[in-house]
């Protein structure tokens, strides 16, 4: 199933095909910073199924908690992070699912894993039936 999404201002638009290979919350410090929240919610897709329809992104590369370089792709106008990529995810796009247009599609993207679970804030419970990983795995 194809889905579309984009940034807050609409200057960057994308299309994604099929089901993700991974659906995960991430509690690493880098994801907290790039999401502006206490975790990020991600769906990982092969890059061959991801297509930019409109606009282009700016990039910012950091060394993540894993020790690997991660590059964030975000709208240069509104700042919305749309996806991330890096050596840990070679050939994959780590899509920020909040950028999808269809709220009903989000219901089918419930994460089945939590990464860096020990870094989860104490007042957020573990996601029921999700694998709890100490690191990126």
Domains of the chain from N-terminus onward: 2-132 (3.90.1590.10)
**pLDDT score of 96:** 97
pLDDT in tens, 91-120: 999 999 999 999 999 999 999 999 999 999
CB 27 within 8 A of CB 129: no
pLDDT level of residue 137 (50, 70, 90 thresholds): low
> Could you read off the pLDDT of 9-30 as tens digits, one per residue?
999 999 999 999 999 999 998 8
pLDDT tens-digit readout, 39-67: 999 999 999 999 999 999 999 998 877 78
pLDDT attached to residue 135: 86
What's the pTM? 0.90
The pLDDT score that the predictor gives to residue 42 is 96
**How much is the average pLDDT of 70-77?**
96
- Long-range pairs of 37-40 with CB within 8 A, sequence gap ≥ 24: 38/120, 38/121, 38/124, 39/114, 39/120, 39/124, 40/96
Residue 64 has a pLDDT of: 79
């Amino acid at each position: 199933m194809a889905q579309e999404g984009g940034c807050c201002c609409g200057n960057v638009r994308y299309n994604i095909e099929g089901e993700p290979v991974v659906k995960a919350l991430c509690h690493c410090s880098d994801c907290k910073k790039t999401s502006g929240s206490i975790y990020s919610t991600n769906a990982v897709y092969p890059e061959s199924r991801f297509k930019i329809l409109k606009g282009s992104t700016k990039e910012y590369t950091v060394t993540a908690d894993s020790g690997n370089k991660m590059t964030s792709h975000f709208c240069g106008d509104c700042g919305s992070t749309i996806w991330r990529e890096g050596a840990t995810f070679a050939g994959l796009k780590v899509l920020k699912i909040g950028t999808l247009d269809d709220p009903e599609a989000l219901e089918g993207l419930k994460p089945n894993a939590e990464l860096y679970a020990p870094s989860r804030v104490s007042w957020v419970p573990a996601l029921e039936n999700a694998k709890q990983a100490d690191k990126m795995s």
